Homo-oligomer: A and B are copies of this chain.
Amino acid sequence: MRRLTVMTAADPAPTAADHARTPVLIGLDWGTSALRAWLFDAAGTALARLTGGPGVMAVPPDGFRAAFEAFCAPWLAAHPGLPVLAAGMVGSRQGWREAPYAHAPAGFGEIAAGLIALDDDAGRVLRLVPGVRAEGRQGSIDVMRGEETQVFGALAARSVLQSADAAHRDGLFVLPGTHSKWVEMRAGRIVALRTYLTGETWAVLRQHSILGRLAADPPADDASAQAGAAEAFDRGVRLGLASPGELLHLLFLVRTEGLFDRLRPTQTPAFLSGLLTGAEVADALVWSGREMAPTLIGDDAQAARYARALALAGVIGRAAPADCTAQGLFAIARAAGLAPHPPASSSR
């Protein structure tokens, strides 16, 4: 299934009119379960967007080129020779080709230098964005693949808004999800990252453990049930924040609170989510030192849950601009010389 969106006047206006409307780059966000694509003009504005393509898990090992060419066929036919930049799990062992992780500290320069070229593609310029790896404490290694592009997109947007000075490109970024990532950036380079299995732990406990048996999703049109779920989320967050080291015990509370009618079935998934999110946020704030206000990158509902958990911890988070991935792809393409720099900017 391919959905084509042609951008309208409501989208961000081109910053340089003479660059506008002429495509210069195709960007791909090719993750485990989905493929999206953008057609960019020279100002980084998306002229068109495709969604609903097959994720990496749905493509056979030798089928990536065919899947890409089928998905982007109209663009490739209308604009032959455009360079292509792809980010996400397409660069993993299970993807088109493995793009070795760039080592932290990693900024635009390191990412651009780490692009993998698929030169065998009939003369087409197609590059894969590497993931980023960072050493944790005690020698452990943490990794991301795809999220680095979102972080650079948020950074590019922020630098436009605030300062083009690299020294001010510091930030703490939170990317909630199946494997949520906390990313610390200093002077425009990713210096540290930390992954939590929060989303996946929630999902497997919800679906496969005894905790899920008493759980029900609150109906979207039942305001009372929604409010009850929000209250249960808060209650869970407070417990997780206060005692992250008790998490395996707190999880059993999901059962006992239900057993003694202190938690309704429609509150159970939210309470469980709150416990896990609270435990994650408690640890991540210790890890990050509470020095920088976190920027939340993700879909609205997830970002709102994390913003709430942060608020209960006394921390104000801010939301990243929408479509960080598209902005990040274009910013990396610029850094790698695949797309032109803006006429009057020192942006690296």
Residues of A within 8 A of B (CB): 140-143, 179, 194-198, 200-201, 204-205, 207-211, 244-249, 251-253, 256-257, 259-260, 276, 279-280, 282-283, 286
A160 to chain B, nearest CB (A): 33
Please tell me if the beta carbons of B143 and A249 are within 8 angstroms of each other in the complex: no
The list of the 10 closest CB pairs from A to B, nearest first, reads A244-B245, A245-B245, A197-B251, A196-B248, A195-B252, A204-B204, A204-B208, A197-B252, A208-B208, A196-B249
Interface of A is mostly: helix
Q: Is the CB of B245 within 8 A of A282?
A: yes
Task: Provide the bound-state CA to CA distance between A178 and B253, in Å.
Answer: 15
Q: In whole Å, how far is A138's beta carbon from the nearest beta carbon of chain B?
A: 8
With the chains together, A210 CA to B33 CA distance in Å?
14
The residue that A140 contacts in the complex, of B256, B279, B283, B286, with Cβ under 8 A, is B256
Residues of B within 8 A of A201 (CB): 201, 205, 209, 248, 251
Report yes or no: B279 in contact with A245, Cβ–Cβ below 8 A: yes
CB distance from A201 to the nearest CB of B (A): 6
**Cα separation A179 to B205 with both chains bound (whole Å):** 13
Q: With A143-B256, A143-B259 known to touch, is A247 a contact of B204 (CB < 8 Å)?
A: no
Known interface pairs A140-B256, A197-B251; A283-B246 also in contact (CB < 8 Å) = yes
- The interface residues of chain B lying within 8 Å CB-to-CB of A247 are 244-245, 247-248, 279
Q: Least Cβ distance of A188 to chain B in Å? A: 25
A55 CB to nearest chain B CB (Å): 14
Cβ-closest chain B residue relative to A249: B196
- Among A194, A245, A253, the most chain B Cβ lie within 10 Å of the Cβ of A245
